[in-house]
Amino acid sequence: MPSQQALVRRPGPRLAEGLVTHIDRRPVDPALALRQWETYVQVLRDHGWQTTEVAPADDCPDAVFVEDTLVMFRNVALLARPGAGPRRPEVPAARAAAEALGCSVNEIRAPGTLDGGDVLKVGDTVYVGRGGRTNAEGIRQLRATFEPLGARVVAVPVSRVLHLKSAVTALPDGTVIGYPPLVDDPALFPRFLPVPEESGAHVVLLGGGRLLMADGAPKSAELLAGLGYQPVLVDIGEFEKLEGCVTCLSVRLRELYA
């Protein structure tokens, strides 16, 4: 049976020092962030996901955003090489976790850079954001890794947000959703649905039409509920202060087979 495995990593003691690029820095409450993270992980478990904690990287303030450390396609894990140098020590523990789950492991090598948050999979199409953290060489190496497995890799520009998935994610039927002011070119996606709030563009597919979303996007949740989906809302406000969203806090492994 296909897996519902998720890698997560608890917030470390330096979380409040995390990098911010496109927004103004605001104070972060580490204790509240930990409670929000615990709720997020419990929601995954409540919806049938088995969670594995990646070993801490406490010297790395952004380590909780584990999605940036690797990208999955089928049973192959491609280890990232973050565009922000201080984040690169986050990757070795992600490698260990992927290997423990039986993944085949590849890696991005210098001078390539790739953040997992720049990669959006829609079926066998893999959209890759070319922006501040992911460069052309990183995209070339991702293409060389995943195209032989049947992926169609499409590079798209990202200039208004930190990562591609800060701007767009996708619904179970493959429709890409986004907040238009933050999307460089919606026409690059065959089906695009605008949502009325920035955080409404971020969904994690829990299965069965359930969408994990931040609770700060009630109008978007109402829109998606009207399309027959079931929003499952969580408060991740402390992570949003660091340009995080619901996708950033886990790596979902859907195509491992027992």
Cα–Cα distance between 196 and 219 in angstroms, integer?
Answer: 7
Q: What CA–CA distances, in Å, run from 153 to 114, 119, 129, 182?
A: 14, 10, 11, 22
CA-CA-CA-CA dihedral for 108, 192, 171, 97, to nearest 10: 10
Cα–Cα distance between 125 and 170 in angstroms, integer?
Answer: 11
For this structure, is 248 an active site residue? yes
The burial of 162, by beta-carbon neighbours within 10 Å (0-12 exposed, 13-18 middle, 19 or more buried), is given as buried
Q: Of residues 60, 103, 245, 248, which has the active-site annotation? A: 248
Q: Of residues 60, 103, 163, 202, which has the active-site annotation? A: 163
Q: What CA–CA distances, in Å, run from 199 to 39, 78, 132, 207, 248?
A: 18, 27, 20, 20, 12
For this structure, is 103 an active site residue? no
The two three-digit tokens of residue 138, written as one number: 């990183």
Residues designated catalytic: 163, 248
